[in-house]
Amino acid sequence: MKILLSEYAVSTGMGGTYLLEGKAMLHTLASSFSKLGHEVIYTSSGPVIENGKPVTSSEEDIKKVLDVQSQDCDAALVIAPEELLAEITAIIDKNTLNMGCNSSCVAICSDKLECTRKLENTSVAVPKTFSPEQNLPDDRCWVVKPRFGCASEDTFVSHKPELEEGQIATEYIDGEHLSVSLICGKETMPLTVNKQLIEIHPDKDTSAVDYCGCTTPYLTERKQELYETAIEATRVLECNGYTGVDIVLGDRPYVIDVNPRPTTSLVGITKIMDREIAELLIANALGEELPQVSITGNYSFTKEELI
């Protein structure tokens, strides 16, 4: 198969944490598909020719590049910042076999406020969440973050935040910062529980939240409870393909975010999994039965080690 992989930060030269993690995920995915003998192409800073003229994959024209390339591929997978992912995914949905969540699912999951509202009326526990139009109770600690965003950028804890447009506040939940990685589709296969290395100081008036790395798998007696929570959340949201569910494990598992795309935990999981992630993604996209997967050992990495 001819596989198109598009990682937005790499394709456009975007800086910061996005580029750091994007490179690692793109390399992991490309290597996996190549090992299985698939032809892999990806959007980059190089030119694409359309009607005899070069179309470069800059931030302004990445959608045009994707539209051109995806029509010539058998399947595709895109990774992009949450505020852009739905629109970019819609191009893949139109032109080829999408190995990830469809654009409708992405639009809901990428909007942290709407995603929480959809889960509030289910059996899935979520923290109390407020928008700028609402009055925040002042008797607790809050996590303030962009309504659209990822990689913990511009996220901080505060006891008396004043929300600006584009921000939301979620109740700070005391517990372990974990995630569950799954393959979602005709059948849902949890892969691992991951320990997120998060630096946060809730005792301060204001403290930045910093994602520092990951350990996978994370061994806990409550693994099944975490799996059931993640499966139910992704079922409600109709996720497909590799999905990461961020959870704080307190008195029960609280779903914090649902990432409708590959996450950096994938980098560690593929080191200790006896199947290629590409095999799972293709089988899932085609509606085929997923092969059994075994995880052996564990793997840890810091953000700096992704370079």
Residues 229 and 254 in one domain: yes
Give the sheet arrangement for strand 142-146, strand by strand: 129-130, 167-171, 142-146, 156-158, 206-208
Q: Is residue 44 part of a domain?
A: yes
Q: Is residue 95 part of a domain?
A: yes
Q: Is residue 111 part of a domain?
A: no
Residues 179 and 294 in one domain: yes
Which pLDDT belongs to residue 206?
80
Domain boundary (99, 119, 143) is at: 99
Residues 167 and 207 in one domain: no
Give the span between the Cα atoms of 22 and 263, in whole angstroms: 9
Residues 13 and 85 in one domain: yes
Q: Residues near 66 by Cβ (< 8 Å), separated by ≥ 6?
A: 4, 6, 43, 78, 88, 91, 92
Q: Give me the domain span that covers residue 282.
A: 174-306
Residues of 169-181 as b/e, b for ≥16 C-beta within 10 angstroms? bbbbbeebbbbbb
Domain boundary (171, 203, 227) is at: 171
Q: Is residue 236 part of a domain?
A: yes
Sorting pLDDT into bands at 50, 70 and 90, what band is 304? Answer: confident
Question: Which CATH number fits the domain that encloses residue 73?
Answer: 3.40.50.11770
Residues 150 and 251 in one domain: no
Residues 253 and 137 in one domain: no
Q: Is residue 106 part of a domain?
A: no
Residues 184 and 226 in one domain: yes
Find the range with the poorest average confidence among 12-21, 33-42, 209-218, 274-283: 12-21
Question: Which CATH number fits the domain that encloses residue 179?
Answer: 3.30.470.20
Domain boundary (171, 205, 234) is at: 171
Residues 185 and 282 in one domain: yes
pLDDT at 231 over 90: yes
The domain tally of the chain equals 3
Q: What is the pLDDT of residues 80-95, one digit of tens each?
A: 988 899 999 999 999 9
Residues 147 and 92 in one domain: no
Give the span between the Cα atoms of 254 and 144, in whole angstroms: 16
Q: Is residue 263 part of a domain?
A: yes
Residues 190 and 295 in one domain: yes
Which pLDDT belongs to residue 51?
57
Give the span between the Cα atoms of 243 and 221, in whole angstroms: 22
**Location of structure tokens 């996720």:** 239
Which pLDDT belongs to residue 153?
76
Average pLDDT, the chain: 91
Q: Is residue 108 part of a domain?
A: no
Q: What is the pLDDT of residues 126-175, one digit of tens each?
A: 999 999 999 998 888 999 999 997 767 789 999 889 999 999 999 999 99
- Residue 180 near residue 192 (C-beta atoms within 8 A): yes
Q: Is residue 45 part of a domain?
A: yes
Residues 302 and 213 in one domain: yes
User: Residue 291: is the preceding peptide bond cis (ω within 30°)?
Assistant: no
pLDDT at 36 over 80: yes
Residues 167 and 194 in one domain: no
